[in-house]
């Protein structure tokens, strides 16, 4: 029998979806509803090459809200012969952003779980509210289909206490749950497994540092398959330099700018999350564009790339010390997978630490997992194509099987 899992990932104005056949691992349909609530909302849909219909379609439809978006997706799926009217759909997996300390594994969604996610809204207001809408709408659009929440924070619940606590009054942790949670957990988990699979070594014996470098960026130190430290914190603002987020900074900058520039808390929040990082330094947040600007002699763009790579290098050094023995470094997501410049710069001059990238392998094309270290490098360096949706689908299926067994 065929088992299908539908993965839903709701952003504030978008819905990403992907339908998997879990027995073959193939994608039966995927798509993205964009600009929800705006005048030019649309649904982009991708069907397998083998489909009788054109594999790539854009449907211009009015999508006033997420409820209409999911309803439209349901109608599109109904037209897909491989979906077979939903008779093989065994579950729906939801990407959920903040699981706090309550959720350390994928969880079957019921009213109590929805209530708990609602209680976590203060920790991630925009994300968790969008996730909740998705869960509630999907429950009514696909009645009787079990739904599972897969949290972005869950993978990092294995961090030791001394790594997740901040050195602030104890009461802030006890009363306000202020601690490091970390994000991109599904991606870090997936990439660590891919590295172990590729190297033919048990995940339990492997120490890996994963750099997820997309528009958001984070690092994770992974010992034997478990996350032991990660660069994002209470929110995704901490850590690496990102497209529009500052990453690490002296927290006193916040009160200095409040006092000296008269900025409000909301303005500071927006500045550090939306107008900082690469964009703050050079005016652009798309790494492709920035690399082109830098190549054309734009000094600010050059600086942005250097700062981006330097922060990665600092975390690489820190996490090497955390792990003690490092087996592999993996680069993933938009920038990590596609920018040899950033990878080379991040690992430059690290031969004394046993890390060296081969310039030819670094720029070569390859499969979804490839090694790029030079012959003399003690540490393996890999480029791994991440697949958060597939990982969510796998965790959803595993959760449903545990639940039934």
Query: For 61-110, where are the E strands, in sequence order?
Result: 89-96, 107-108
Q: How far is 136 from 303, CA to CA, in rounded Å?
A: 45
**Bridge partner residues of 384 (DSSP):** 369
Query: Any contact of residue 30 with ligand AMP (CB under 6 A)?
Result: no
For ligand AMP, the closer of residues 335 and 355 by Cβ is 335
Torsion of CA 81, 85, 89, 91, to 10 degrees: 120
Active-site choice (152, 229, 327, 387)? 152
Query: Any contact of residue 11 with ligand AMP (CB under 6 A)?
Result: no
Q: Sheet of 328-332: strands edge to edge?
A: 226-230, 217-223, 207-213, 328-332, 380-384, 369-371
Site for ligand AMP in 203-232 (CB under 6 A): 214-215
For ligand AMP, the closer of residues 32 and 43 by Cβ is 32
Q: Which residue is nearest to ligand AMP (CB)?
A: 334
Per DSSP, 104 falls in state S
Residue 69, judged by CB atoms within 10 A of its CB (0-12, 13-18, 19+), counts as buried
**Bridge partner residues of 253 (DSSP):** none
Helices 265-274 & 252-260, crossing angle to 10 degrees? 120
Query: Any contact of residue 14 with ligand AMP (CB under 6 A)?
Result: no
Q: What is the CA radius of gyration of the chain?
A: 22
Q: How far is 376 from 379, CA to CA, in rounded Å?
A: 9
Query: Any contact of residue 333 with ligand AMP (CB under 6 A)?
Result: yes
Rounded to a whole number of angstroms, the minimum distance from the CB of residue 56 to ligand AMP is 18
Q: Total binding residues for ligand AMP by CB under 6 A?
A: 12
Rounded to a whole number of angstroms, the minimum distance from the CB of residue 242 to ligand AMP is 9
Query: Any contact of residue 80 with ligand AMP (CB under 6 A)?
Result: no
With beta carbons less than 8 A apart as the criterion, state whether 108 and 359 touch.
Answer: no
Among 6, 281, 287, 323, binds ligand AMP (CB under 6 A): 287
248 annotated active-site: no
Query: Any contact of residue 312 with ligand AMP (CB under 6 A)?
Result: no
Rounded to a whole number of angstroms, the minimum distance from the CB of residue 286 to ligand AMP is 4
Among 137, 191, 195, 335, binds ligand AMP (CB under 6 A): 335
Query: Any contact of residue 366 with ligand AMP (CB under 6 A)?
Result: no
Rounded to a whole number of angstroms, the minimum distance from the CB of residue 304 to ligand AMP is 11
Query: Any contact of residue 368 with ligand AMP (CB under 6 A)?
Result: no
Q: Which residues are catalytic?
A: 152
List interacting residues with ligand AMP (CB under 6 A).
214-215, 243, 286-288, 291, 333-335, 338-339
């Amino acid at each position: 029998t065929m088992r299908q899992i539908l993965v839903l990932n709701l952003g504030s104005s978008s819905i990403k979806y992907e339908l998997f056949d879990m027995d073959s691992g193939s994608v039966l349909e995927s798509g993205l509803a964009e600009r929800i609530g705006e005048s030019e909302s649309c649904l982009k849909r991708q069907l397998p090459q083998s489909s009788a219909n054109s594999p790539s379609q854009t449907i211009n439809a009015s999508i006033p809200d997420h409820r209409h978006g999911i309803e439209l997706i349901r109608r599109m799926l109904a037209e897909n012969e491989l979906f077979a009217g939903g008779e093989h759909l065994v579950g729906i997996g939801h990407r959920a952003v903040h699981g706090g300390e309550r959720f350390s594994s994928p969880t079957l969604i019921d009213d109590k779980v929805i209530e708990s996610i609602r209680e976590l809204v203060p920790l991630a207001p925009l994300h968790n509210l969008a996730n909740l809408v998705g869960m509630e709408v999907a429950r009514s659009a696909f009645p009787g289909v079990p739904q599972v929440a897969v949290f972005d924070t869950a993978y990092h619940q294995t961090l030791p206490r001394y790594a997740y606590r901040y050195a602030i009054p104890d009461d802030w942790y006890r009363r306000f749950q202020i601690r490091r949670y970390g994000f991109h957990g599904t991606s870090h988990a997936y990439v660590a497994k891919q590295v172990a699979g590729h190297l033919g070594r048990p995940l339990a014996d492997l120490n890996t540092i994963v750099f997820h470098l997309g528009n958001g960026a984070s690092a994770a130190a992974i010992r034997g398959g478990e996350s032991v430290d990660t660069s994002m914190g209470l929110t995704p603002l901490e850590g690496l330099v990102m497209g529009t987020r500052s990453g690490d900074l002296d927290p006193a900058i916040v009160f200095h700018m409040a006092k000296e520039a008269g900025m409000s808390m909301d303005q500071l929040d927006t500045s550090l999350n939306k107008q900082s990082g690469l964009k703050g330094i050079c005016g652009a947040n798309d790494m492709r564009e920035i690399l082109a600007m830098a190549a054309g002699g734009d000094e600010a763009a050059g600086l942005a790339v250097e700062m981006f790579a330097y922060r990665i290098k600092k975390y690489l050094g820190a996490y090497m010390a955390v792990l003690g023995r490092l087996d592999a470094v993996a680069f993933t997501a938009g920038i990590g997978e596609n920018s040899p410049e950033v990878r080379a710069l991040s690992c430059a001059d690290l031969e004394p630490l046993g890390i060296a990238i081969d310039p030819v392998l670094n720029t070569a094309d390859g499969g979804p997992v490839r090694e790029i270290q030079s012959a003399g490098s003690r540490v393996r360096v890999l480029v791994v194509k991440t697949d958060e949706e597939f990982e969510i689908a796998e965790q959803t299926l595993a959760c449903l099987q545990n639940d039934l067994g």
